[in-house]
Every structure is written in C-alpha cells, then in structure tokens.
Amino acid sequence: MTTTTAPEPKADPKPKGDRRWWQRKEPPRQDNNAIIGVGKSTPYLFSLPAILLVAGLLGFPVIYGLVQSFYRRPSLGADPEWVGTENYTDMFSSDAFWHSLNKTAIFVFGSLVVGMALGLLFSFALFKVVGRLRFLRAVTIGPYIVSNVAAAVMFRILFNAQFGTVNQAIEWLPWVETGPRWLADPTMAMVTVIFTQVWTDLPLVILLLLGGLMTIDKAHLDAALVDGATGWTRARHVTIPLLAPQMLISVVWLSYSTLTGLGVVLALTGGGPLKATQTMAMEMYTVGFRNLEFNEALAIATFILILNGLLTLGYVGIGRKYDYEA
Amino acid sequence: MSDTLPQDEFLTESAAEKALKASEGTPREPRRTAGRSRTKGIIRSILISIPLIALVVWTVAPFFVTLSVSLKDKTEVFADPSLIPANPSLDAYGDVLASESFTTSFWNSVIVGVGVTVLTIVISVPAAYAFARFRFRGRHLLLLFTLLPRLVPSIGMMIPIYRLAVATGMLDKRLTLVIVYTAMLLPLAVWLLVGFFQAIPREIEEAANVDGASLWGRLRYIVGPLAAPAMITVGVLAFREAWNEFTLVLVLVNSPGNRTLPFELYKLQGVEGVADYPIEAAFTVLTIIPFIIFYTFVEKHVVAGLISGSGK
C-alpha cells in the first residue's frame, strides 16, 4: 500500500505547475491512507451528491442565464431565437433600466453608509461590555430570524403615516405638525426601504465587526498607548486599520445583499411609489415575471451579477491598497 | 476636561494604561484625582450605555410595535396609536390560527423546513468529511463551494430555476422547494463542517482504526458525536433558510396548498384593499415565534453537544 509513498512525506509539497489541477497528482502523504482504510471510490461517493446538487442548481443557472440572455422569444409562448446582444443594447437604451440603476446606486450607497455607521457604533459599544450583559447578544441577532416579508410588515407598521410609532415620536416634537408620509412619498419610501434592509442585515455586520475587535492583539493597542495615542487618535490610526479586513467583508456583504436583494423591496413597496424604489432586482422581477419577458430579464440579471463581481473586486482592490499603505 | 470625552471609550482600560498612569506619578492632590476619576467613570458608563440603548431600541422596536398592533382591534389601531393597548385582545391571533391560509402554510413551512434540514445534513456531512479527511482528485472543487454562493444570488437563480422547474414538471411542488433550498444551503454547510472536521484530531480516528473500527464505526461513534454541535448549527441555518426564504418560493409555487409562511404573509397584505393591520401583525408574530421556540429547544442540545464532545 505504501510503495508509492515517498520516504519523506514533505518532500515535494508543491504540485507540478505544468499540469491542470484535475490532472495533477496530490503530493503523497503518509498519514493519508494510513488511517482511512477505505476503497478509492469512497471520497467520490461521499462528495458526489453535494457536488452534483450544487453544480446543477447553482452552476446551471449562471450558464443558462448567460446563454439565454442572447436569445429572445418573438412572441409569448414561441421558442427563443438567437438575437445576439440585442437584449443588452435594448436594455442600455431603455429609460427604465437607467432609472433602476440610479435607484440601485442610491439604495446600495445609502445602505452602506447607514449599515456601516450603525454597525461600527454598535459593535464598538458591544465590545466594551463583552462578557457582561449577555442578553444583548440575543437581542442583536433578533432580526436575523425574521423573514424579509415579516420585516416589511413590521416596518410598514412602524413607519405608518397615521399611527406608526416613528411619526408619533416625530409629531411629539413641538415644531413638527405632521410627520412625513413615509411610504407614499418617493424620497421617504427609499429611506424606509434602506432602513428596513439595514435592519435585516445588521446582525451579521455587528457579529463580523465584533469578532474582528475581539481578535485584535492587545499589544498593538498598548504600544499605541505608550506612544501617547488615546481615544479618537487610537481608534482612527490603530483600531480601525486593524479592523479593516472585517470592515471590508462587511462592506462586500452589505453591498451584495442590497444589490441582489429583492425580498425587502418587493414586500415593502413593490417598487413604488411612482417607481421610486424600483431597484434593478425589482426591474428584473417586473420584466421577467410580470411582463413574462424572461430573456430580457436574464440580461438584467446577468448585468447585476457582473456588477456585483466588479464591485467586490473593487472593494478588495481598495482594501489591498489600504493594507499596503498601513 | 476634554480628556473625559467619549474618545477614550473605544477599549477597556488595559494593563499598560494603568501602568502608565501609575508611572506618571500623581501631580494632582489625591482626593481631587479620586473625584475626577469617579465623575469620569460615571460619564464613561453613561456614554457607553447610550449606543447600547440605541441598539436595543433599534432591534426591538419593530417587534414591539408589531406585538402591540396585533393585540388591538382593527379600528383601535388608528383611534389609539399608543404602544400599550388599552384593552388588549387575542382576537387577531384567534382569527389567524383559525384561518386555513395560516394552518396550511404553517405545515408547509414545517415540512419544507424539516426536509431541508435533514437533506442538508445527510448530504453535507459526508461531503465535508471527504473534503476534510481524504485527498482525492477534485478536492479542489471545495473552492467552488466557497465561491459559488457569492456568484449566484437568488436573483440570478429565479428565472433559470423557474424554467428548469417548468421543463421538468416540478413547478408548484414542495419537493422542489426542499431540493432548491438544500442546494442553496450546501456550500455554507459544507464549508462550516470542513473547518470543524479538520479541527478534530486525526489521531483520535487513527486510534479507533487501530482498535478495529470501520469507517462507518468511526463516523458513528467518534466523528458524529464530536461534530454534533456543528451539525446542529448547520441544521438551524438550513431550517432558518427554509422558514424565511421568499423570492424563490414566490416563483416556484403557486397554488395556496403549497405556499410557505412568507409567501402567504406576502399574499395577505396584497389581496385586501384596506390592510387589516392586527391580522397582519398577528400573522407576522406567529411566523416568528415557532422559530424562536425551535431555536431555544435546539440551543440546549448545542450546549450539551459541546460539553460532551470536549469532555470525553
């Protein structure tokens, strides 16, 4: 059994570069087969169901979506015909698309600003009482167990113009007569959607940032202190840069969640009023499932996926640059 | 006095800070220093409690107002907007629990949730074990598992999966939901479990192997019990996804008999011209409470699994 095993297991840890990964031989390792007295097919049998299911139901949609975005059905119910990039050129020349791109930009940027500000504030505060006040942890993850639709119902009640608690509080102020009509006013509807989206996403952001704060080596902070950096200076020049990886992941996650998120918008406003919250995800849903123009909608979906990839790369690039400077 | 501002609040006073203060000597007279530090302590605790209170209000307020509205009468909601209902009633809950739309969708959610949980664990545990313990060709596909969910959000899946379901005659079936949700959950589940399996010392399994345990025996009596907390975590995540998922059930299921709770709640707020807020609120509360019960029930086992796993 061990005839092919090299005398020293760590002899050649790097695989040969001239082969593709599926042709490459794993470097022999002694401890490998030694404990696992099983047939060669076992690992494949174990992992195949998962690989097939993921490839079939997550991999297939990407390829299908990309291919079908170059087709179009001439009429409802007819077979799709190849139209080249026509779906894309039509998309880029339609006002509805640019409108939704504009709304998405506001939605993503607003959620990033609100989400990161609240996330940093809450995680710094929670870090101060880590180990004590344990109920706060349970409170923090509360929104995580709520579906997007339930969150939308809750925020529709909270932000109701007539009886909502937010307006009750605003109208309690002596100089305000009536609070804004949150979901009927185009600008305020976007604000409401942003708050609802951030509310559902914040638990993960807080846990990420809190985890990052807890892993920061105390020596760095003590060293900064010896150098005379306290308070804001220390937070600005020591804590925040050390927290950069977790902040980056939070930004990527928030932007992914808002760019591709449909549930909150659909359940809260449905894109309205007057298309004021018609994000690209909503636009894709409208084109696909209300107008039943699947191929046109797939062009939008592909655009969203590409944009998401580019944004992620952009954030990582910014993060790396920041890392080198520090 | 500008030193006493919140800027010092970011981290707890460390040992070096104390040492530094001690080495500074005491230029001021002792009593005054004590008074200053006490005021500073009070200001500090007030300043730290403000964001914490904000956190609690931010998180709890939506739950609280929904609970409040659910205990009111339809007209009372508008007539009396105060948070504590004057004469709370459970009528809305009675109406929701008696309605067929709730009971049907509730059981659909339970069935789909349990199905996804079981299927996810059954598929992800062997896969993760293979990725963690064996070296075989295609092991690099693990990378695919960590990358794919980032590339394929449910917005990108909606139309292709819908078309696939139409083509295979799987539209409007609960089984379709179980399979699709499981596929969505698998990357996360495998990724979590691989980390956990790798943390289990190889030597334990080697020792068992020497004692004559088969692969199945090792999985059943060693890896399984040790990994129980991770598997329960994966189960909770899978159940949560199935319980809360909305966008795919919206396109994959149509008939009222197959809808899950989020879909039914979405329909509830759409059909009626004037929203019946107490009913909506009660329905919302009733979708959240079962998950909390489920979680508190399972959490005990997570803790128990952790203790028995590490102790023996």
Q: How far A126 CA lies from chain B's nearest CA (Å)? A: 7
**Cβ distance of B287 and A147 shorter than 8 Å:** yes
- CB contacts, 8 Å: B184 with chain A: 57-58
ipTM > 0.85 for the complex: no
**Signed CA dihedral, A41, A47, A48, A49: sign only:** positive
Judged against a pLDDT cut of 50, whether residue B6 lies above it is answered with no
* Segment B58-63 long-range contacts (CB within 8 Å, at least 24 positions apart): B58/A118, B58/A122, B58/A199, B58/A202, B59/A139, B59/A140, B59/A142, B59/A143, B59/A199, B60/A139, B60/A142, B61/A158, B61/A165, B62/A143, B62/A151, B62/A154, B62/A155, B62/A157, B62/A158, B62/A199, B63/A142, B63/A154, B63/B288
Angle, vertex CA B194, rays to CA B193 and CA B197, nearest 5: 80
| The two three-digit tokens of residue B244, written as one number | 């809360």
Comparing CB atoms, the residue among A145, A262, A294 nearest residue B291 is: A145
What are the chain B neighbours of A150 within 8 Å (beta carbons)?
244, 262, 265, 284, 287-288
Which residues on chain B are in Cβ contact (under 8 Å) with A124?
Answer: 9-10, 51
pLDDT at B20: 43
| Structure confidence at residue B233 as a pLDDT band (50, 70, 90) | confident
Of the candidates A79, A96, A55, A59, the residue with the CA atom closest to the CA atom of residue A295: A79
The answer on pLDDT for B308 being more than 60 is: no
Residue B150's pLDDT is 63
Q: Which residue of chain B comes nearest to A133, CA vs CA?
A: B52
Of A13-27, A152-166, B43-57, B78-92, which range is least confident?
A: A13-27
Task: Decide if B244 and A281 are in contact by the 8 Å CB cutoff.
Answer: no
pLDDT bin (cut points 50, 70, 90) of residue B225 is confident
| A127 touching B (Cβ < 8 Å) | yes
> What is the pLDDT confidence band of residue B4, given thresholds at 50, 70 and 90?
very low
* Residue from the list A37, A51, A155 with its beta carbon closest to the beta carbon of B62: A155
Query: A184 with A267: CB under 8 angstroms?
Result: no
Given an 8 Å threshold on Cβ–Cβ distance, is B159 in contact with A294?
Answer: yes
Residue contacts between A and B (CB atoms, under 8 Å): 302
Mutate to test the interface with A, among B155, B219, B266 (most CBs of A within 10 A): B155
Best A145, A258, A266 residue to mutate vs chain B (most B CBs within 10 Å): A145
Q: What is the pLDDT of residue A147?
A: 93
* Interchain contact, A35 vs B269, CB within 8 Å: no
SS3 of chain A: the string is: CCCCCCCCCCCCCCCCCCCCCCCCCCCCCHHHHHHCCCCCCHHHHHHHHHHHHHHHHHHHHHHHHHHHCCEECCCCCCCCEECCCHHHHHHHCCHHHHHHHHHHHHHHHHHHHHHHHHHHHHHHHHHHCCCCCCHHHHHHCHHHHCCHHHHHHHHHHHCCCCCCHHHHHHHHCCCCCCCCCCCCCHHHHHHHHHHHHHHHHHHHHHHHHHHHHHHCCHHHHHHHHHCCCCHHHHHHHHHHHHHHHHHHHHHHHHHHHHHHCCHHHHHHCCCCCCCCCCCHHHHHHHHHHHCCCHHHHHHHHHHHHHHHHHHHHHHHHHHHHHHHHC
B152 vs A contacts (CB less than 8 Å):
58-59, 61-62, 305
Task: Answer whether A297 sits within 8 Å of B159, measured CB to CB.
Answer: yes
Model pLDDT for residues A97-141, shown as the tens digit of each residue:
999 999 999 999 999 999 999 999 999 888 888 777 778 877 888
* Contact residues on chain A for B149, CB-CB shorter than 8 A: 58
Partners of A304 on chain B (C-beta within 8 Å) are: 153, 155-156
Closest residue in A to B294 (Cα) is A145
Nearest Cβ partner of A53 from B69, B182, B251? B182
CATH architecture under which domain A89-325 falls: Orthogonal Bundle (1.10)
User: Cβ contact (<8 Å) for A22 and B288?
Assistant: no
Q: Closest CB to B10: pick one of A149, A153, A234.
A: A234
Sorting pLDDT into bands at 50, 70 and 90, what band is B109? very high
Q: Which residue has the higher pLDDT, A44 or A193?
A: A193
Dihedrals phi, psi of B72, to nearest 5 degrees:
-100, 175
**Which of B130, B263, B283 is the closest to A47 by Cβ?**
B130
Query: Which candidate from B52, B124, B205 shows the least CB-CB separation from A136?
Result: B52
Percentage of chain A lying above the pLDDT 90 cut: 34
Mutate one of B56, B75, B120, B152 to test the A interface: name it (highest A CB count within 10 A): B152
Mark which residues 139-158 of A lie under 8 Å from B by CB: 139-140, 142-151, 153-158
pLDDT, tens digit, for every residue of A221-241?
778 778 777 777 777 778 888
The rounded mean pLDDT for chain A is 83
Residues of A in contact with B251 (CB under 8 A): 289
Q: Are B260 and B112 in contact, with CB atoms under 8 Å apart?
A: yes
Interface of A with B in 166-205 (CB under 8 A): 168, 199, 202
% of chain A with per-residue pLDDT over 70: 86
Radius of gyration of chain A from its Cα atoms, rounded to whole angstroms: 26
Tell me the range of A105-119, A176-190, B195-209, B229-243 where mean pLDDT is highest.
A105-119
Structural domain boundaries in chain A: 89-325
Answer with the residue of higher pLDDT: A94 or A75. Answer: A94
Looking at per-residue pLDDT, the higher value among A34 and B161 belongs to B161
Of A13-17, B75-79, B92-96, B141-145, least confident by mean pLDDT is A13-17
Amino acid at A214: M
Check CB contact of A30 with chain B, cutoff 8 Å: no
